[in-house]
Structure 1
Amino acid sequence: MKIDVFAHVLPVGLLRAIQESVPNIIEQNAFLQIPALTDLKIRRENYPDGVKQIISNVNLNPEDYFSGAKSAELCSVGNEELLKLVQDNPDIFTAAVAMVPMNNLPKAVEIIEQQVTKNFIGIQLFTMALGKSIADKEFEPIFAEMSKSNLPIFLHPVFDERKPDNNITFSWEYELTQAMYQIVKAGYFEKYPNLKIIVHHAGAMIPFFAGRIKYTMTAQEFEDFKKFYVDTAILGNPKALESTVDFFGESHVVLGTDAPFAIMPSGATNEIIEAIEQMDISQAAKEAIYSKNILKMMR
């Protein structure tokens, strides 16, 4: 069995609740219009054999539209909907990643304590929240609580809306790289020894610029970059994935596909698995990537 750690859904109940106040939310965001996010019949078409997905909400964050109290309510209800999707579809889903309201940190901590530690594999955070870096001091309580829970943070990119040249091909990789840099600079891996962060898109620019990191930052910071876990969601490219394993180590790379995005109707799972199979690494390393590494973090 292969476990895809970064697959997305759009919980229908959460969507409808948001549409009550933001009726044109789908029209505003083209990425929400992919049918397989909500239609599991489509998702099952050409579904890869021997794969189960860990699901997280697509990039639709209540704190971007609502007050702290309303955001907390929607996150809590949305988390229950994610959990029910897993329970009702055990043939394709194996676990869920929870949402937390970044404009209501006391409630976010409460959700981690009461929902996440009991029923979820971790929480999803984004490279920015409320216009600030995710490593901003304001959000540190979330990192502290996740270290305490000994469950991973799943780090997903978002655009920095202050920039005029955002694009889907390169911008998210830059934002992930900057967020990793800011987390390392904040010293979170020293402050919180149990902290686990799974970074989308194979750790973005980090493997390619490993030499620059080594010689322009401190030895401790260089080692801290290696503490991130990363997935394989770069749509193929076995040589790039080999560089990812070279830098982070085979124990810190996990299968992730970003399904159902990139290749219609249900994502690039087959293409990414094919790239892993083409990698010049041992079969034991491939098995670690496919499931063993994430199983060590799951409860």
Structure 2
Amino acid sequence: MDAPARIDVHQHIVPPVWADALAARGLDSGGWAIPAWSPRSAIAMMDQQGIATGILSVTAPGVHLGSDGAARDLARAVNEYGAEVVKDNPDRFGHFAGIPLPDIDAAVAEAVHALDTLHADGVALMSNTHGRYLGDPGFEPLWAELDRRAANVFVHPAQPPMALLPGTPAPLADYVFDTTRTALDLVLNGVMSRYPNVRVILSHGGGFLPYAAYRFSGLTSTVVDPDRTAEDILRDLRRFYFDTALSASPSALPALLAFAEPGHILYGSDWPFAPQAAGTYYNSYLGTYPDFAPGQAEAVNRDSAEFLFPRLAR
């Protein structure tokens, strides 16, 4: 691309208070080290990768690290830090607010504060929080509040409640699985049909959801819940948006493009947890993909995100 134009919906921020909280507890991101980050280094990366604006979020394990009280404080500190970064560079950055699930009262309160007071571009939810997935009935008040506000919801995978494969950090394999798991949980528990105003973005091309969507729809309608048709399941699965982070490849793009609704594929980098060399690797496939329809590449890189983030529309 000749000039930075992309809107990157999957770019991470590393607030010092969050990095310190993880270090104090001996935590990382599913066996993945926490990298250095600064606004200056992010802008330098974006200029090199053709990214005009990065929508920032904290990655797994999110802001709830064990204690409800500490999670409330950490979420507020993380979100205020992100808001200041955006305030200093409003054209280059946006942010998804960290939400302290599974503390539902705090989660609703922080979502309202972040959207109304800090003017966040949406909220970021982990695919599971301490083993509870996003279709959990206890999370209904949060979905109702987000639906009233037609909020953007960015779903980032977390380590599933199981042991890591030896020598295999969660981002390599388990994150793909957990994104798929929580997406299916949202659909089977009716969240996607009850709350039509929320726009839910799934990381990493939706895990393997596009590839396995017809498995989910066919088996649900014939075995799991015969009262729902396969078309009902597919309709709810297609409500998701999908980012291309680590997923713009010759094998993944055909399935994603065949499944996703028009305008539902968004650019993502996963920087800095995915290093810049990884971004270059996947951008090369995205930039040379031969089977985009007219205007489709532009939609993935920018135009579809402008619909979700109208303040960034040119």
TM interval, short-chain normalised: 0.7 to 0.9
1:63 partner SS: coil
Query: For residues 272 and 85 of structure 1, what CA distance do their matches in structure 2 show?
Result: 27
Counterpart residue number, 1:254: 266
Correspondence for 1:237 among 244, 249, 256? 249
Correspondence for 1:181 among 184, 206, 225? 184
Residue 201 (1) aligns with residue 208 (2): no
Counterpart residue number, 1:108: 107
Correspondence for 1:271 among 252, 269, 281? 281
- Measured against aligned partners, the alpha-carbon deviations of 1:116-149 in whole angstroms (never above 9, x if no partner) come to 2451111111111122122111112211111111
User: Residues 168 and 99 (structure 1 numbering): CA distance in 2 closer, same or farther, change over 3 Å?
Assistant: closer
Matched positions, count: 291
Aligned AA for 1:96? H
Contact 2:30 2:60 survives alignment (8 Å)? no
Aligned AA for 2:12? H
Query: For residues 115 and 39 of structure 1, what CA distance do their matches in structure 2 show?
Result: 20
Cα offset for 1:267?
5.6
User: Residues 162 and 247 (structure 1 numbering): CA distance in 2 closer, same or farther, change over 3 Å?
Assistant: same
Aligned AA for 1:297? L
1:153 partner SS: strand
1:112-261 matches, within 5 Å, as 112-118=111-117, 119-163=119-163, 165=165, 167-217=170-220, 218=229, 219-261=231-273
Query: For residues 55 and 28 of structure 1, what CA distance do their matches in structure 2 show?
Result: 16
Counterpart residue number, 1:48: 49
2:24 partner SS: coil
Aligned AA for 1:116? L
Aligned AA for 1:203? G
Cα offset for 1:111?
1.9
**Is there any run of 5+ residues in structure 2 with no aligned partner, and where?**
221-228
Cα offset for 1:101?
1.1
1:268 partner SS: helix
**Is there any run of 5+ residues in structure 1 with no aligned partner, and where?**
none
User: Residues 103 and 225 (structure 1 numbering): CA distance in 2 closer, same or farther, change over 3 Å?
Assistant: closer
Cα offset for 1:235?
4.8
Query: For residues 62 and 174 of structure 1, what CA distance do their matches in structure 2 show?
Result: 21
Cα offset for 1:282?
2.4
Query: For residues 307 and 154 of structure 2, what CA distance do their matches in structure 1 show?
Result: 15
Aligned AA for 2:232? Q
Provide runs of 4+ in structure 1 moved above 4 Å: 26-30
Residue 293 (1) aligns with residue 281 (2): no
1:86 partner SS: helix
2:295 partner SS: helix
Aligned AA for 1:185? L
Query: For residues 266 and 177 of structure 2, what CA distance do their matches in structure 1 show?
Result: 20
Query: For residues 294 and 52 of structure 1, what CA distance do their matches in structure 2 show?
Result: 10
Query: For residues 66 and 16 of structure 2, what CA distance do their matches in structure 1 show?
Result: 17
Identity, in percent, stands at 22
Aligned AA for 1:55? L
Give me the CA root mean square deviation.
2.5
State the TM-score, normalized to the length of structure 1: 0.87
Counterpart residue number, 2:7: 3
Contact 1:258 1:267 survives alignment (8 Å)? no
User: Residues 11 and 124 (structure 1 numbering): CA distance in 2 closer, same or farther, change over 3 Å?
Assistant: same
Residue 94 (1) aligns with residue 97 (2): no
- Measured against aligned partners, the alpha-carbon deviations of 1:65-99 in whole angstroms (never above 9, x if no partner) come to 32x233112211210101112223456x3200001
Query: For residues 244 and 97 of structure 1, what CA distance do their matches in structure 2 show?
Result: 24
1:250 partner SS: coil
Cα offset for 1:34?
1.8
Query: For residues 28 and 296 of structure 1, what CA distance do their matches in structure 2 show?
Result: 31
